[in-house]
Amino acid sequence: MNERETNPAGTPIANEWGSRGHVQTLVLMAATVLGIYLCYRLATPFLSALVWALALAVLFSPFQRWLESKLKRPGLAALIAVLVVALIVVVAATFVGQRLVHEAAKGAEIIKTKVESGEWRRALESHPRLAPVADWMERQNLPGTVKTVATWMTTTGSSFVKGSVVELIGLLVTFYLLFFFLRDRLAALQLVQSLSPLSEAEMDRVFDRVADTVFATVYGMLAVAAMQGLLGGLMFWWLGLPAPLLWGVVMALLAVVPVLGAYVVWIPAALFLVMQGEWGKALILSVWGGVVVGTIDNLLRPILVGKRLKLHSVLACMSVVGGLILFGPSGIILGPVILMITVVLLEIWRSRAAAEATARVESAELSRLENDGGPVAPDLGIPFPQQPKSSRVSPGDAVGGKHILCGTLTKLKS
C-alpha cells in the first residue's frame, strides 16, 4: 500500500498529526492557555478587591434588585447600592480609626510618663519576688524600648488612619467592580454559563452553592466578630476599665478585618494595667483575650459555616485557615468558595455517572423485552405477541375471534 492512504473516492487522507487543521488547533490551545495565565497574573494584584467585590455583590444584590424594581433603572440602582456600601465602610473605618489614634496617643503618653517617673519600678519593688525582674529590665534597657514602642504606636496609628495609596486604590477598585457586578450580574452569569461545559441546571446548582457559601462565610464572620466584641467588652466592664461598651464595639469592628483583630485593643489595655501596677488584672485580661477571645474565632466560625453549608466543621476550618495562608485576607471567602465549587463538581460527576448507569440498565431491559416478547411498540414499549410458526388457526377460532372483535368495537362506540 502507498505511504499516503486513499479513501474510496480516491482522494488522499492527510496525516492526522501533520494536518494544517491540527496544527492550528494546537496553536489556538497554546494561545488560550497563555492568555488565561497572563490574565491571572494581571488580576493577581487585584485579587483581594475582586473577591470582596463579588462577596459584597452577593450580599447586596437583594437590596439592588429591590431598588431596581422601584426605580426601573439598573444603573442608578447599582450606584445607590454602592454608595450605601461605601458609606457603611467609611463611617465604620473613620469611627474605629479615630478612636484608635486618640487612645493610642493617650496610652503612649501615659506609658512614657510612667517610665520616666520610675513609678513602674516602685510598683515592682513593692513585691519582693518581682524585684529581680526590675533589675533585669533595667539591665536590658527595657524602659527605653518601651518609650520607643510608645512613640511607634503614635506614629503608626496616625499612618494607619491616613492609609496608604495602595490600600486606597484597592478600596476604589472594589467599589468600581461592585458597581458592574450589581448592574451587569445577569449578563455576567449568562456569559459564564455560555462558556461552561456544564448544563444550565448544573450551572444554576453551582451558582446557588457559591451564593450560599458567601452568605454563610460573611454572616459567620459577623457573628464571630460580635461575639468577640461582647466577650471583650464584658471583661473590660468586669475589670473596671473605662468605656467598656465603646471598646467592645471597636473590638467587634476590628475582628471583621482579617489582618487586625480584637488584640489591637486588649493588648494595650493589658500594658496599661501593668503600668498601673494592676498585675492581677493584666494577667486576667491577657489570658481572657488570648485564650477565650482569640480562639473563639477558630472554634465558632467553622461551626457556623459548616452548619449552613451542611459541611463538616473540620473541612470548613481547613478551608478558612488554608485560604488565609494561601490567599491572605481574601482567603476567608475564597477558601470556602473553592472548596464548595469542588464539592459541587464532584456531586455533578456522581449524578452523571448514576444517570448513565440507569440508562444502561433501562437499555438492557428494553433489549431483553425485545428478544423475549417480539417487537416493541415505539410509543408504549409493549411487546406484540407472536404466534408460533407451527400453530394453525382453525375456522372456528377465526369466527369466534371475529365475534369477540365486533363486540369490543360495539362497546367502544357506545
Domain positions in the chain are 45-195, 197-362
Give the pLDDT of residue 131: 52
Rounded CA-CA distance 74/71 in Å is 8
Per the CB < 8 A criterion, the answer to whether 231 and 293 are in contact is yes
pLDDT (tens place) for every residue of the chain, 414 residues total: 444 444 554 444 445 555 777 788 888 888 888 988 888 888 888 888 888 888 888 888 888 888 888 888 888 888 888 888 888 877 777 776 666 666 666 666 666 666 566 565 566 555 555 555 555 555 555 555 555 555 555 555 555 545 555 667 777 888 888 888 888 888 888 888 888 788 888 888 888 888 888 888 888 888 888 888 888 888 888 888 877 787 888 888 878 776 677 877 888 888 777 777 777 888 888 888 888 887 787 777 777 777 777 777 778 778 877 888 888 778 888 888 888 888 888 888 888 888 888 888 888 878 877 776 555 444 444 454 554 544 444 444 444 444 444 454 444 444
- Show Cβ contacts of residue 41 under 8 Å, excluding neighbours closer than 6 positions: none
The beta strands (E) that lie in 187-324 are given as none
Per the CB < 8 A criterion, the answer to whether 341 and 209 are in contact is yes
Rounded CA-CA distance 284/297 in Å is 19
Per the CB < 8 A criterion, the answer to whether 174 and 52 are in contact is yes
If phi over 0 gives left and psi between -120 and 50 gives alpha, with beta otherwise, what is residue 175?
Answer: alpha
Q: Which amino acid is at 263?
A: Y
**Burial zone of 13 (CB within 10 Å; 0-12 exposed, 13-18 middle, 19+ buried):** exposed
- Report which DSSP code applies to 288: I
Per the CB < 8 A criterion, the answer to whether 296 and 302 are in contact is no
Give the pLDDT of residue 380: 46
The two most distant CA atoms of the chain are separated, in Å, by 131
Bridge partners, residue 376, by sequence: 383
For 354, half-sphere exposure in the C-beta direction (CA atoms, 13 angstrom radius) is 6
- Show Cβ contacts of residue 134 under 8 Å, excluding neighbours closer than 6 positions: 121, 124, 125
Rounded CA-CA distance 363/367 in Å is 6
H helix or E strand, kind and range, residue 56: helix 47-71
Radius of gyration over every alpha carbon of the chain, rounded to an integer in angstroms:
36
Q: Is 383 helix (H, G, I), strand (E, B) or coil?
A: strand
How many contiguous H segments (helices) and E segments (strands) does the chain have?
16, 0
Give 248-252 contacts, CB < 8 A, sequence gap 24+: 250/96, 250/99, 250/100, 251/293, 252/225, 252/226, 252/228
H helix or E strand, kind and range, residue 382: none
Residue carrying the nine cell digits 465604620: 92
Q: Take residue 152 and report the three cell numbers written for it.
A: 511607634
Answer whether 0.85 is exceeded by the pTM.
no
Q: Which of these, 162, 156, 199, lies nearest to 355 by C-alpha position? A: 199
